[in-house]
Amino acid sequence: MCKGNGDYHNLELYEGDVLPLESFLLKKVDMLESQNDNRPFFLVDLAELYRMLEQWRRHLPRVELFYALKCNPHPIVSRCLADAGVGFDCASKMEIEQILNLGVHPSRIIYANPYKPSGYLTYAAANNVDLMTFDSAHELTKIKKHYPNARLVLRIWTRNGPIMIHNLSKKFGCHTREVRAILAQAAKMNLNVVGVSFHVGGPVTSPDYYATAIEQAHRAFNIGLSLGLNMEIIDIGGGFPGKYNGYVTFEEVAESVNKSLDRYFPASEAVRIIAEPGHYFVTAAFTLTVSIIGKRIVSKRDIDDGCKKDHFKEHNSDETSNEEAKDESLIYMYVLDQGTCGAFANVTYDDADIQLKLLQNSNLKTSIVWGPTCATFDCVVAKRQLSEMEVGQRLYIPNMGAYSLSLATGFNGIELPLVFPVCSRYYCATVPLIFEQLLFSKVCLTPTAPKTHIKGLLL
């Protein structure tokens, strides 16, 4: 829940198509410092959500959107997407409850977790959230008992790429050789299987992953039809890049998906195609601003001798090469007011490449950046060439919307960042309902850890 009198703020607007990021960040810093407040904060550009929505509908017009709430459950995100007609991929009772409380119709929710506690199934049944995934015979038995009228989507195993961080097929998905048997059992139990789903994992390094997975889904879909099941849905999952991930663009992925859908599920067959993007929507919408709360200069020898060398990953700086850095015998160690147990949780989960941005650059030093907790694993950036910084200095990190707030634990009682929403005036005119509410309402700025207790807009 929100804390204190200063934790509320109205939406602010900007002119034009591009957010003047640094000027807004400085404005927020000045505002907070005038109140003797040095807390970290996110600046959230809501227009970015709508830009990504427009891009999706332009490039993948056949594919319905079900936003993966786990990626960033902040209420301002879910409210904007809900009012724009987006559906939701929920994985628990609490996530379903959050979306239903926004007034979203149950038909716009998929319970996309192949393993569901019986109590959660009962809750879904009581609230008519009937579309859900499964990948095992044991789950069918549970569903038959607690929600026999559910509409079921079989999640299948897919072959992931060799450098996947998230190889989801390790945990989820019915293997190809098991598809017929499990669908036959569902038919024998008079359960209503309506489709097939998959998730290619991430980061996606080739659009071919989707092409291969859609072909696999087509085979499973046809097996279901041959067994007399009411097959009507293909769920192509997530993994879509919102910004260039160094491997493939969204446009390249969309082109591959469209070709495969046209080949295996042509529009004339009226198969419903859905997807569950997360990173795609929120990555670029959130910029994090943090402060340096500690600094120490140590001998490189002491660090190498005192730490496991494989604890630190070497990063190449886009500012300079190692040879250009001065004082190579020293390591400049900094401590931030957020770490991997807080807003930098994506470092651990996503192996995120954190790009620390300073408003002013100075001489470059070999640096290590830590989070504020007592944990030795709380390392945000290891052995990178950075401008020398001082205690109290602010810096910002773009592209922090995915798996930052959602995975933050609040370990050691470290407070999570405030959230300041901004938006282009153009979208306020284009999508007036949500922004009329936000402009004249207050937003809860302080999410509460753990993530399952993040509260909504105070309207």
Tokens of 202: 């991430």
Q: What angle do CA 131, 49, 247 make, to 5 degrees?
A: 90
Kindly report each contact of residues 180-184 with a partner whose C-beta sits within 8 Å and lies 24 or more positions away, as own/partner.
180/223, 180/227, 182/135, 182/136, 182/137, 182/140, 182/154, 183/154, 183/220, 183/223, 183/224, 183/227, 183/229, 184/227
Active-site pick, 80, 174, 341, 374: 374
Residue 107 CA neighbour count, 13 Å, CB half: 2
Amino acid identity for residue 236 in this structure: I
CA 269 to CA 236: how far, in whole Å? 17
Strand residue runs (E) in 246-285: 272-275
Residue with tokens 């640096």: 367
Distant-in-sequence, close-in-space partners of 306: CB < 8 Å, separation ≥ 6: none
Closest of 179, 275, 199 to residue 233, by C-alpha: 275
Residue 266 burial class via C-beta count within 10 angstroms: exposed 0-12, middle 13-18, buried 19 and up = exposed
Residue 311 burial class via C-beta count within 10 angstroms: exposed 0-12, middle 13-18, buried 19 and up = exposed
Active site residue 379: no
Dihedral sign of CA atoms 74, 77, 80, 82 in order: negative
Q: What is the DSSP letter of 315?
A: -
Distant-in-sequence, close-in-space partners of 205: CB < 8 Å, separation ≥ 6: 161, 163, 164, 247, 248
CA 250 to CA 280: how far, in whole Å? 9
Residue with tokens 């993966």: 68
C-alpha R_g of the chain: 23
Amino acid identity for residue 376 in this structure: T
273 phi/psi in degrees, rounded to 5: -110, 125
Closest of 186, 155, 160, 185 to residue 172, by C-alpha: 155
The residues pairing with 64 across neighbouring beta strands, listed in sequence order, are 274
Residues tagged active-site? 374
